[in-house]
């Protein structure tokens, strides 16, 4: 697996959770949220990401009519 490019990832990471230890570490972020039955914040529009509702149900409700 290629080495994580943290600096590059941080340039576009949309996570707004203060102090997130996985910010910019995409592999860790996806693994963490997947184990919780969620999706990472970057899958959501900014106004939804800020609610911290990362549920699959919320994802579907956001994108079902697009």
What does the pLDDT look like over 9-39, one tens digit per residue?
999 999 999 999 999 999 999 999 999 999 9
55 dihedral zone (left: phi>0; alpha: psi -120 to 50; beta): beta
With CA atoms as reference, report the closest residue to 40 among 61, 19, 14.
Answer: 14
Tell me the average pLDDT of the chain: 93
pTM for this prediction? 0.83
What's the rounded Cα separation, in Å, for the pair 35 and 57? 15
Q: Which residue has the tokens 């999706």?
A: 39
- Structure-token pair, residue 31: 């693994």
């Amino acid at each position: 697996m290629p080495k994580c490019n943290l600096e590059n990832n941080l340039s576009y990471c949309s996570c707004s959770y203060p102090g997130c230890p996985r910010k910019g570490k995409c592999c860790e972020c996806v693994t963490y949220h997947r184990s919780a039955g969620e999706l990472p914040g970057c899958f959501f529009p900014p106004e939804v990401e800020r609610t911290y509702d990362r549920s699959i149900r919320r994802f579907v409700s956001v994108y079902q009519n697009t």
